[in-house]
Amino acid sequence: MKGQIVAAKCIDLSFEGKGVAKYDQGIVFVDGLFPGEEAEVEITYTRAGSNFGKIKKLITFSKDRIQPRCPVCTACGGCQFQQLSYQAQLAFKKNKVKNAFSRTAKINVSVNDVIGMDDPYFYRNKIQMPIAKDKSGKIITGFYKANTHVIVPIEKCYIEDERSSPILATIRALMKDMRIEPYDEDKRTGVIRHILIRTSYYKKQIMVVLVTNVNSFPGQRNFVNALMAKHPEITTIVQNINKRDTNVILGNYENILYGKGFIEDSLLGINYQISSKSFYQINPRQTEKLYTAAIEAANLSKEDVVFDAYTGIGTIALLAAKHAKHVIGVEIVNQAIRDAIRNAKHNAISNVEFHAADVADYMTQMADENHKIDVLFMDPPRKGADEGFLRSVLKLSPKKIVYISCEPETLARDVKILSSRYDVISVQPVDMFPQTHHVETVVGLYLKK
């Protein structure tokens, strides 16, 4: 089967944005093939009984196909939809959310149109790139090709902040000139493993993180000075030390090589300090739309007590505090809670408290002690909430729940459990990740009367 060339016609898009193409012997999933298109497809592998392939020759073209800006978008794997018109992307994402609810939650809901971007490019405020040498010995940065550890060299990424590419080019040039070796995964030798760049949208600050395999390297100070001389727009440089044989990018130890070790940005008038490891939404322009939709779904009053689960650095909690009587934010990551407390003080917000704890245990204890909350915000990781957390929610029974999700399937799974006690009032998708198949969704749930 592998290597077979088949004539196939795309009849749909899968949940992951792959073309669902029909041919004589069945179905093959194909990246970059869109509904209505016909192509010669090479079957490249089979997994769990499903065939996957790549386009060898495109025969008919969808009216929604466009010329991609990025010359390596088909090789990189970071974008699934650069060849698909933006309106078609938004339509796919709305259907993706609606289908998840009907298929997984068994609930027919009205889904609002996706809130999109005016300019769906150059939006990511965080870039993480591995660094290596190609076969000719040239130092490259890029992204791993899907399902491999082969780096696709990237000169300019069209979904990352435009300020990042020139900095990466300078780092590559300085490493060559100063003979600083990139990390070799196989030999476990070399100095620099990854480059992480974080940018702020409103404050115009830039953080560069050098992830190294060593505590220090020869010429380190000269390297930092040369980088700053070339890019005075950089406001802080951090060295993160990761000597482990792991796919995890960041290690546990850091040195501040220049500046304060963090950057600052604003969301809806609230200022945040962002460190190398802080969770902060990737798309600042859309994050304001996302959180505005969440606050609107909550319909807060000055008498409300709010609980913000998975609070992170307190982003939603601090926004809600402006509209509520009191806010409790809980997060299991200690560093995030320290950041949240610092952000509350920095913004002089006093009607909020933060706790480092397991959210399910904390909420169960609140229910056992007969504490009441009016509104629950929950923004769990991609895998969704666990059963213990959902049981604690049902036990505590807040009047309203605002569920923010980056994964429609786990969202629908969790809402199905909550729907035993709650009605779905609103479903608002927001396009946080243009050119990809991902979509964020805000769901409002009200306790049944």
The residue from 10, 70, 157, 406 that is catalytic is 406
Is residue 4 pLDDT above 90, yes or no? no
* Summary mean pLDDT of the chain: 94
Mean pLDDT, to the nearest integer, of 371-381?
94
Could you report the per-residue pLDDT of 399-449, keeping only the tens digit for each?
999 999 999 999 999 999 999 999 999 999 999 999 999 999 999 999 998
Our CA angle for 92, 439, 154, nearest 5°, is 95
- Rounded-to-integer distance, Cα 141 and Cα 177, Å: 16
Residue 10: active-site member: no
CB 402 within 8 A of CB 447: no
pLDDT score of 245? 85
Partnered with residue 196 across adjacent β-strands are 128, 209
Could you report the per-residue pLDDT of 179-211, keeping only the tens digit for each?
999 998 888 899 999 999 999 999 999 999 999
Q: Please give the C-alpha separations between residue 148 and each of 30, 70, 75, 128, 379, in angstroms, as whole numbers.
A: 17, 20, 11, 17, 30
Is residue 224 pLDDT above 80, yes or no? yes
pLDDT score of 49? 86
pLDDT score of 10? 96
Beta-carbon contacts of residue 31 (< 8 Å; ≥ 6 apart) = 18, 19, 54, 55, 74, 77, 80
pLDDT score of 144? 85
Is residue 146 pLDDT above 80, yes or no? no
* Total count of residues recorded for the chain: 449
pLDDT score of 374? 97
Structure tokens at 376: 């629950």
pLDDT score of 423? 96
Which residue has 């809901």 as its token pair? 109
pLDDT score of 150? 84
Is residue 295 pLDDT above 90, yes or no? yes
CB 239 within 8 A of CB 180: no
Could you report the per-residue pLDDT of 26-41, keeping only the tens digit for each?
999 999 999 999 999 9
Could you report the per-residue pLDDT of 42-76, keeping only the tens digit for each?
999 888 889 999 999 999 999 999 999 999 888 88
Burial of 163 (0-12, 13-18, 19+ CB in 10 A): middle
CB 422 within 8 A of CB 397: no
CB 409 within 8 A of CB 15: yes
- Rounded-to-integer distance, Cα 449 and Cα 1, Å: 57
pLDDT score of 9? 96
**What is the DSSP track for 15-51?**
TTS-EEEEETTEEEEETT--TT-EEEEEEEEEETTEE
| 149 band by pLDDT with thresholds 50, 70 and 90 | confident
Query: What phi, psi does 265 have (nearest 5°)?
Result: -150, 170
Burial of 402 (0-12, 13-18, 19+ CB in 10 A): buried
pTM (two decimals): 0.92
**What is the DSSP track for 59-75?**
EE--TTB---S-TTHHH
Could you report the per-residue pLDDT of 84-141, keeping only the tens digit for each?
999 999 999 999 999 999 999 999 999 999 999 999 999 999 999 999 999 899 999 9
pLDDT score of 145? 80
- Identify the residue with better confidence: 288 or 3: 288
pLDDT score of 447? 96
| 328 band by pLDDT with thresholds 50, 70 and 90 | very high
pLDDT score of 354? 97
Is residue 3 pLDDT above 80, yes or no? no
Mean pLDDT, to the nearest integer, of 166-175?
97
pLDDT score of 186? 84
pLDDT score of 165? 96
Q: Return the H-helix or E-strand segment holding 427.
A: strand 422-430
- Rounded-to-integer distance, Cα 331 and Cα 315, Å: 12
pLDDT score of 284? 93
